[in-house]
Amino acid sequence: MSSSLLTAPVAQVLDDLFADAERQQAKMAGNLKVAQEESLTPFERFSRIKDSYMPIDRPFGNLLYSLIRSTGARTVVEFGTSFGISTIYLAAAVRDNGAGQVITSEFIEEKAAKAKDNLTRAGLADCVDFRVGDAIETLAQPLPGSVDLLFLDGDKGTYLPILQLLEPHMKPGCLVVSDNTDLPVLTTGGDKPNSGHEISLRS
C-alpha cells in the first residue's frame, strides 16, 4: 500500500511543520499555562495561543492515516484544525483511498488561513473543506456524505456537543477518534495532562 506521507511534497511539509513546532515548544508551554485560566471562554483561550502549535505526534498521525486507509473512509470530519498537521494526515489518507473529503473546522481565522496554506503546499487542499468559526455552527452546515470518521481535537468541553451534532450523520461503523482526553482508552499520549487518545466505534 503506497503512502503519499513518504513522498514530496507531503513528507517535506510535515518535516517543516514538526521542526517548527519543536522550535516553538518552550514558548508554547508558557502560552498554554496562561490559556488554562478557568475564567476564559473557549474563544479567549484559543485566541491567546493562536500562534502556538498544539500538534499530534507522528505515531498518532500515522495511526489516523492507517485508520482511514484500512476502512476506506471517504467523509472525514475534524474538529480543531490548528495549523493543519493532523489535517495533512487525514487528507493524505483520503487522497490515497482514491476519493473523498476532509471537513475541518477551526475557531481562529488566522490559524485556519495558515492551515490552508500548509495543505496547499502539501498538494492536498483540494481534498479539504475548510470551515472557520464555532464548530457547532460550521459543522451543522451540509456534509458531502455520511461520516466515516470523526476526529475530535479541539476544546474538550465541546467534544460531546460535536458528537451529538454529528451522530445522526454517522454511518454504522463510523470511528470516533479523540485526542487530549482525560481517560485514555488507547494510549496515554504523552507526559502532559489530558493527552490521552481514545477510539470508539459506532455500532
- Residue 34, SS3? helix
Tell me which of 95 and 187 has the higher pLDDT.
95
Q: What is the pLDDT of residues 164-176, one digit of tens each?
A: 999 999 999 999 9
- Domain at 4-16+51-201, CATH from 3.40.605.10, 3.30.1180.20, 1.20.1260.120, 3.40.50.150: 3.40.50.150
pLDDT band at 23 (very low <50, low <70, confident <90, very high): confident
Instruction: Evaluate whether 48 touches 110 at the Cβ level (below 8 Å).
Output: no
Q: What is the pLDDT of residues 40-71, one digit of tens each?
A: 776 666 666 666 677 899 999 999 999 999 99
Give the Cα separation of 19 and 34 in Å (integer): 24
Q: How far is CA 25 from the centre of its chain?
A: 19
Give the pairing of strands 128-132 and 147-152.
Answer: unpaired
